[in-house]
Amino acid sequence: MSITTRFAPSPTGYLHVGGARTALFSWLYARKHGGKFILRIEDTDLERSTQESVNAILEGMTWLGLDYDAGPFYQTHHFDRYKEIIQQLLVQGDAYYCYCSKDELEQLRTEQMANKEKPRYNGKCRDSEELKPETEPVIRFKNPVDGVVTITDLVKGDIVVANKELDDLIIARADGTPTYNLTVVVDDMDMKVTHVIRGDDHINNTPRQMNILKALGAEIPKYAHLPMILGADGARLSKRHGAVSVMQFRDDGYLPEALLNYLVRLGWSHGDQEIFTIDEMVEYFELGDVNVSASTFNMEKLLWLNHQYIMNGDPAHVARHLSWHIGQLGIDPADGPELIDVVKAQRERSKTLVEMAAASVYFYKDFDSYDEKAVKKNFTAGSDHVLSRLHDELAAVTDWNGERVHQIIVDLAETLGLNMGKVAQPLRVAICGSAVSPAIDVTLSLLGQEKTLDRIEKAINYIRSLN
Ligand code: GLU
């Protein structure tokens, strides 16, 4: 059997990490089985759907590298088809017009609540032949009254629901627009979706959807309901817990593969392995290994993973992502060293690309001020003299490279009878503005001779202006 999965977000906000995990699992399942992965935008709620959210979904999918084989399909383009199916259900007697007014339904609900019954439609119009042309009816699905629906859930196992627990749900509103459960069913059927992989917040919809599919004589897909993602406080993960939008993670300096790796482990495991290449995820992923219980989002662990990917990833790849952050800071990478060399120099000390970019600005732009603490500690009386000597020695270099400048610093320290730090630290503050940078020889070779000499001169003037 060829496999088709889909990711079917509603464009009513940013792409949430929970949604991204659903997308990832659907994508992995399709890739693992050589199947097809569809992106379907469920935009029938015209009031809440926005183009901005559609863009955020598309941007998020692209950034994560979750490529789809078909789509994006928009449900708003399928209204005629939904009407056709609603009509079909009416004709074959599996749906009916319901004229019950809001007040009537409200009263019914109040009575049921008072009797401690589960509020549900009582089926008043189910068998009525009466047409009331003066009122706009809704259309309800005629749910079977007897028997059970068994969901063979690939994560949770069999779930049996008695039909008498399910009331006749509305499939078309009074204005004729179809409701969620109808549109999902029609599209899953038309798109020949074989595996519906989605959040377990939809589990109550599944037996209803299966009944509609049965009424349409459609093949019932397999279902896999993914457990929820919680914040550290045990509540469902939301904005309150910090970044939850996929693009926010990009903005905060995460690599997409680190986020994917984090998401794949959120509710799924393969032995003790923590780090997975995409190919390994595809190879090892099994729905049967997805946890039944909810998982907790752990920002610290994601940060750790991100650092692993920054340190061990292909520097050229990391540099491509870094270039976006460098651009955000208004820096033209052409004004300084190759980004790939910056990545190699900074990756041990940068947990995010935001940190890396911020710590690399001085390679490209002069800074306006020195770090105060660093000045106090390192621009002391006499350090202008050390810097001046260094300036002369470094100015004479004709083959600028790390080894050469390192030797100059070592030799000068020896000549002046100082330890290395007394020479290297003032130099570091002079060229970076702070006492933190990669190894001094690496920093100097990346910065280049001209900028180095220029900044040493500025620092000498600055130190002299202090005294
Ligand atoms: N559009 C639904 C949502 O965003 C998902 C529907 C489904 O996966 O069946 O929650």
Q: Give me ligand 1 centre to Cα 169, in Å.
A: 17
**Top mutation candidate among 21, 42, 183 for ligand 1, by most atoms within 8 Å of CB:** 42
Cβ atoms of 259 and 244 closer than 8 Å: no
Question: Of these residues, 239, 373, 376, 377, which one is catalytic?
Answer: 239
Q: Which atom of ligand 1 has the smallest separation from the CA of 42?
A: 1
Q: Which atom of ligand 1 has the smallest separation from the CA of 19?
A: 4
pLDDT at res. 455:
97
What one-character-per-residue DSSP string does 22-54 give?
HHHHHHHHHHHTT-EEEEEE----TTT--HHHH
Q: Which atom of ligand 1 has the smallest separation from the CA of 9?
A: 4
pLDDT at res. 467:
67
Which helix H or strand E contains 259, and what residues bound it?
helix 256-265
Please tell me the residue having the least CA distance from ligand 1 atom 7. Answer: 8
β pairing state of 36-41 and 4-7: parallel
Distance (Å, whole) CA 176 – CA 228 = 33
Q: Which atom of ligand 1 has the smallest separation from the CA of 7?
A: 8
Q: Nearest Cα to 181, choosing from 157, 160, 203?
A: 203
Q: Give me ligand 1 centre to Cα 10, in Å.
A: 6
Which residues fall within 8 angstroms of residue 396, CB to CB, at 6 or more apart? Answer: none
Rounded to a whole number of angstroms, the CA Rg of the chain reads 31
Q: Give me ligand 1 centre to Cα 360, in Å.
A: 42
Cβ atoms of 11 and 76 closer than 8 Å: no
Cβ atoms of 125 and 195 closer than 8 Å: no
Distance (Å, whole) CA 166 – CA 148 = 10
**Top mutation candidate among 184, 200, 229 for ligand 1, by most atoms within 8 Å of CB:** 184
β pairing state of 138-141 and 70-74: unpaired
Ligand 1: residues within 6 Å at CB?
8-10, 42, 184, 198, 202
**Top mutation candidate among 198, 203, 205, 226 for ligand 1, by most atoms within 8 Å of CB:** 198
Does 3.40.190.10 match the CATH number of domain 366-467? no
Q: Give me ligand 1 centre to Cα 164, in Å.
A: 25
What residues in the chain have per-residue pLDDT under 70?
A: 467
Distance (Å, whole) CA 112 – CA 121 = 10
CA distances from 296 to 70, 122, 457 (A): 32, 40, 53
Q: Give me ligand 1 centre to Cα 246, in Å.
A: 17
pLDDT at res. 131:
73
* pLDDT tens-place string over residues 242-301: 778 999 999 999 999 999 999 999 999 999 999 999 999 999 999 999 999 899 999 999
pLDDT at res. 381:
87
Q: Which ranges of 65-194 would DSSP assign to H, the alpha helix?
A: 79-91, 102-114, 180-190
Torsional class of 257: left (φ above 0), alpha (ψ -120 to 50), beta (otherwise):
alpha
**Top mutation candidate among 202, 210, 229 for ligand 1, by most atoms within 8 Å of CB:** 202
Distance (Å, whole) CA 375 – CA 419 = 18
Q: Is 239 a catalytic residue?
A: yes
pLDDT at res. 9:
96
Q: Which atom of ligand 1 has the smallest separation from the CA of 12?
A: 4
pLDDT at res. 244:
85
* pLDDT tens-place string over residues 151-175: 999 999 999 999 999 999 999 999 9
Q: Give me ligand 1 centre to Cα 287, in Å.
A: 18
pTM of the model: 0.92
The letter for the amino acid at 154 is: L
pLDDT at res. 119:
87
